[in-house]
């Protein structure tokens, strides 16, 4: 836990959380930070909070006290987004400070009532509304709905150019060496980028259209620094705004010059061909992610698929359909709108097959628009000819991916 003075009168209170499933189901191997902010003008405001992980709200109150601020003296609580990782502490806070005014969107006001029964002392703000905290700290609100709940707002501190964005421009990963992205080593920066795409694909991917609108809105503001509710602070806002626009574009493809190989096998027959393909891909000049289902969580598979232009699916037939863990992952990729990929499928079957039929059905139903090159199916173990055919198709896919990305 950490308190950092990030601008004149502005403090970040940050807590790292590990060993949880984010939103109750996303695996986060490198943890996540929860960031709250204090603005001290003539009046004091706190922006967002943190939920019951890691001993908070007690931890958060401890951080506030480090700043010599009595929690009961805070005038405004700004709720950018009512998801309980940011709002779960409000009930406890209201017990200490019942007179605090909650500043939030109209939709968040309804959620305050349904989550916590809070109906009093609420100031509803919308597009371009302002709140003057004194000492020059004038907050200018913007609505950024569905990034990632409909209630979401952000606010610019016009004195310092700090934009508080909650889930927008967030990332997974703990805060370690610095709270600023521009202070990371090359190695830490690479991990941070990976954690940002994991966060984007798991949390925001579905709302990519709305993300684009939110970024456009933020781009029009005089922003000097972006301070999100998860992850690092950006003193070069253009960097993360551009990155988020790119991530949003990956929804419809093409994405990066990368291939994700997703595979599953009951008795090792399909796996034999997978091993052959992995060796072949190692010879190609392209980044490859390999994920076995159901061993790896679908959040991890999604993170790779989101940035990959090419997808290879390898699975056998099971009870006239496809190997069930693969079907589950594909359903989730479809729901998150991992669309417009270049794809290839191979796999083993015993007598009449059926995996391909279900694959076609899922692609059509979820309108995924993946362009498949001809699949390769084999009975039982793949023979030399089958492997050769699989190899040819993989080569073809690599070319298609490169062409799609390079235009």
Binding mask 262-301 for ligand FMN (x = CB under 6 A): ---xxxxxxx------------------------------
Q: How far is Cα 314 from Cα 322, in angstroms, rounded to an integer? A: 10
Residue choice 128, 282, 352, 367 for contact with ligand FMN (CB under 6 A): 352
If you search the block for the tokens 């966060």, which residue do you land on? 199
Q: How far is the CB of 216 from ligand FMN (least distance, A)?
A: 47
Residue choice 220, 282, 283, 351 for contact with ligand FMN (CB under 6 A): 351
Which of 55/268 has CB closer to ligand FMN? 268
Q: How far is the CB of 321 from ligand FMN (least distance, A)?
A: 7
Q: How far is the CB of 358 from ligand FMN (least distance, A)?
A: 11
Binding mask 118-137 for ligand FMN (x = CB under 6 A): --------------------
Which of 177/351 has CB closer to ligand FMN? 351
If you write DSSP's letter for every residue of 285-300 in order, what string do you get?
A: SSEEEEEETTTS-HHH
Q: How far is the CB of 19 from ligand FMN (least distance, A)?
A: 33
383: left (phi over 0), alpha (psi -120 to 50) or beta: beta
The pair of structure tokens assigned to 350 is 């015993």
The reply to whether 317 sits near ligand FMN by the rule CB under 6 A is yes
Residue 157 has, within 13 A of its CA and on its CB side, a CA count of 30
User: Do the bridges between strand 342-349 and strand 308-314 make them parallel or antiparallel, or are there none, so unpaired?
Assistant: parallel
If you write DSSP's letter for every residue of 48-107 in order, what string do you get?
A: ----SGGGTTHHHHHHHHHTT--GGG--EEE-S---HHHHTTHHHHHHH-TTPEEEE-HH
Number of residues that bind ligand FMN (CB under 6 A): 20
The reply to whether 324 sits near ligand FMN by the rule CB under 6 A is no
Among candidate residues 109, 197, 184, the one with its CA nearest the CA of residue 153: 109
Which of 228/347 has CB closer to ligand FMN? 347
Residue choice 349, 358, 368, 370 for contact with ligand FMN (CB under 6 A): 349
Q: How far is the CB of 25 from ligand FMN (least distance, A)?
A: 27
- Specify the stretch interacting with ligand FMN by CB under 6 A; choose among 93-101, 212-220, 350-358, 364-372: 350-358
Q: Tell me 203's DSSP state.
A: I
Which of 134/350 has CB closer to ligand FMN? 350
If you write DSSP's letter for every residue of 242-278 in order, what string do you get?
A: HHHHHHHHTTTS--EEEEEEEE--SSSHHHHHHHHHH
Residue choice 220, 319, 367, 406 for contact with ligand FMN (CB under 6 A): 319
Q: Nearest to ligand FMN by Cβ — which residue? A: 350
Do 196 and 302 form a contact (C-beta atoms < 8 A)? no
Q: How far is the CB of 194 from ligand FMN (least distance, A)?
A: 30
Q: Phi and psi at residue 219, in whole multiples of 5°?
A: -60, -30
The pair of structure tokens assigned to 173 is 């990963």
Residue choice 228, 316, 325, 382 for contact with ligand FMN (CB under 6 A): 316
Among candidate residues 148, 126, 129, the one with its CA nearest the CA of residue 214: 148
Among candidate residues 3, 176, 138, 20, the one with its CA nearest the CA of residue 88: 20
The reply to whether 382 sits near ligand FMN by the rule CB under 6 A is no
Which of 164/349 has CB closer to ligand FMN? 349
Do 222 and 237 form a contact (C-beta atoms < 8 A)? no
- Specify the stretch interacting with ligand FMN by CB under 6 A; choose among 32-40, 86-94, 127-135, 261-269: 261-269
Do 371 and 332 form a contact (C-beta atoms < 8 A)? no
Binding mask 29-48 for ligand FMN (x = CB under 6 A): --------------------
Residue choice 84, 150, 324, 354 for contact with ligand FMN (CB under 6 A): 354
Which of 165/317 has CB closer to ligand FMN? 317
Q: How far is the CB of 379 from ligand FMN (least distance, A)?
A: 7
Our CA dihedral for 144, 146, 152, 155, rounded to 10 degrees, sits at -20
Q: How far is Cα 289 from Cα 310, in angstroms, rounded to an integer? A: 10
Residues that bind ligand FMN (CB under 6 A): 265-271, 316-320, 348-354, 380
């Amino acid at each position: 836990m950490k308190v950092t003075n990030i601008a004149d009168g502005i403090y970040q209170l940050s807590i790292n959380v590990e060993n949880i499933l984010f939103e109750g189901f996303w695996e986060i191997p490198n943890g996540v930070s929860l960031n709250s902010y204090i603005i001290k003008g003539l009046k004091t405001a706190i922006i967002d909070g943190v939920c019951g992980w890691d001993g908070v709200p007690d931890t958060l109150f401890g951080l506030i006290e480090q700043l010599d601020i009595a929690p009961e003296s805070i005038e405004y609580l700004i709720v950018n987004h009512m998801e309980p990782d940011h709002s779960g502490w409000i009930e406890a806070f209201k017990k200490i400070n019942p007179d605090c005014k909650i500043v939030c969107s109209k939709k968040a006001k309804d959620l305050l009532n349904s989550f916590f029964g809070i109906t009093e002392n609420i100031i509803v703000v919308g597009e371009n509304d302002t709140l003057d905290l004194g000492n020059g700290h004038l907050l200018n609100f913007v609505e950024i709905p569905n990034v990632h709940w409909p209630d979401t707002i952000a606010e610019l501190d016009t004195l310092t150019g700090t934009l508080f964005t909650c889930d927008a421009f967030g990332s997974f990963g703990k805060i370690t060496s610095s709270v600023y992205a521009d202070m990371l080593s090359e190695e830490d920066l690479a991990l941070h980028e990976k954690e940002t795409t994991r966060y984007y694909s798991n949390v925001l991917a579905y709302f990519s259209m709305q993300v684009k609108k939110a970024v456009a809105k933020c781009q029009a503001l005089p922003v000097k620094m972006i301070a999100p509710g998860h992850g690092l602070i950006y003193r070069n806002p253009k960097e993360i705004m551009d990155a988020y626009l790119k991530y949003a574009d990956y929804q419809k493809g093409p994405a990066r010059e990368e291939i994700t190989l997703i595979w599953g096998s009951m008795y090792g027959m399909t796996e034999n061909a997978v091993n052959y393909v992995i060796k072949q891909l190692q010879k190609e000049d392209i980044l490859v992610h390999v994920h076995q289902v159901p061993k790896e969580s679908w959040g991890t598979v999604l993170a790779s698929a989101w940035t990959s232009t090419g997808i290879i699916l390898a699975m056998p037939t099971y009870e006239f359909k496809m190997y069930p863990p693969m079907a589950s992952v594909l359903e989730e990729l479809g729901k998150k709108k991992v669309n417009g990929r270049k794809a290839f499928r191979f796999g083993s079957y015993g007598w009449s097959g059926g995996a391909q039929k279900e694959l076609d059905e899922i692609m059509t139903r979820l309108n995924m628009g993946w362009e498949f090159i001809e699949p390769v199916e084999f009975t039982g173990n793949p023979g030399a000819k089958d492997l050769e055919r699989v190899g040819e198709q993989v080569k073809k896919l690599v070319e298609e991916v490169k062409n799609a990305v390079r235009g």
